[in-house]
Amino acid sequence: MFTGIIETIGTIKSLKRMGEDFQVEVQSPTFDFSDVNLGDSIATNGVCLTVVEKSEQSFKADVSNETISYTGFKHYQTGQLVNLEKAMLPTTRFGGHMVSGHVDAVCYVASIYNNGRAKDIWLSIPSHLEKYAVKKGSITVDGISLTVNDVTEGQCKLTIVPHTFAETTLSNVAVGDAVNVEIDIIARYVERLLGHASGGKDPKGVDMSLLARAGYLNK
């Protein structure tokens, strides 16, 4: 589990084919590897990867076909910059939101505008994820915990403050670029629970009785 608060930026040093899938090596002189052990998880552009080998400034991880299919790894090449975050500890400040590192889709930057010292990035959202883009809700973009500030049909607006812009790969993003997107995990579980409460049907008609059956109201 992660928080979406990026620790530093790394660079893909190599992408080595291993039979039908890949092994990636990520290098970062500014990343603290002192407490990283084999088997630990590191969010790499929002993708939860398991460390299988490490050195003082890099780590290697296997990338499955499932990960390649659902994330930007299908487009990545040597030299790609990636956001890095170690798995959270019980004592970690929870500055972002609950991030699993399980990417839902690759989305594309539709437009970028200046907004004072910040940047407004409009992101195209596929139809099956539109319902999860909630104004003032949370979304993860390339591993970064961000707030959805507006929603229109097929798009959502993200306002990037100067610190986030400077300390993450968003400083290099351009219109048309692909990014990894993970929806708020809480929304996913609430939908699933409501679906069971409504007999497995799509819970479009949410009312007080449905919320009560799902256990969200005191009896």
Query: Is 60:51 a contact under the CB 8 Å cutoff?
Result: yes
Q: Using 50, 70 and 90 to split pLDDT, how confident is the model at 90?
A: confident
Question: How confident is the model over 12-32, as pLDDT tens digits?
Answer: 999 999 988 999 999 999 999
What is the CATH number that goes with domain 8-86? Answer: 2.40.30.20
Same fold, 8-86 and 105-183: yes
Task: Indicate the Cα dihedral angle 68, 72, 75, 76, nearest 10°.
Answer: -100
- What pLDDT is recorded for position 214? 64
Rounded Cα distance, 202 and 217, in Å: 20
Q: What per-residue confidence (pLDDT) applies to 23?
A: 97
Cβ-contact 156, 133 below 8 angstroms:
yes
**Interval 138-197: pLDDT, tens:** 999 999 999 999 999 999 999 999 999 999 999 999 999 999 999 988 877 777 777 665
Q: 125 phi and psi, to 5 degrees?
A: -120, 130
For tokens 């591993």, what's the residue?
143
**What are 92-120's pLDDT values in tens digits?**
778 888 899 999 999 999 999 999 999 99
Q: On the CB side of 199, how many CA atoms lie within 13 Å of its CA?
A: 1
Buried/exposed code over 176-191 (b: 16+ C-beta within 10 A; e: otherwise): ebbbbbbbbbebeeee
Q: How many Å apart are CA 194 and CA 191, to the nearest integer?
A: 5
CB 186 within 8 A of CB 115: no
Q: Strands 118-124 and 41-44, how do they pair?
A: unpaired
Model pLDDT, residue 95:
81
Q: Is 50 left (phi over 0), alpha (psi -120 to 50) or beta?
A: beta
Residue 215 pLDDT more than 90? no
Query: Where are the chain's structural domains?
Result: 8-86, 105-183, 184-219
Contact 55, 88 (CB under 8 A): no
Residues in the chain, total: 219
- Any idea which residue has 């009560």 for tokens? 212
How much is the pLDDT for 218?
A: 61
| DSSP-based three-state secondary structure for 80 | coil
Structure tokens at 14: 């190599």
The reported pLDDT for the residue numbered 171 is: 94
78 in Cβ contact with 14 (< 8 Å): yes
| Overall average pLDDT of the 75-101 stretch | 90
Q: Does domain 105-183 have CATH number 3.90.1570.10?
A: no
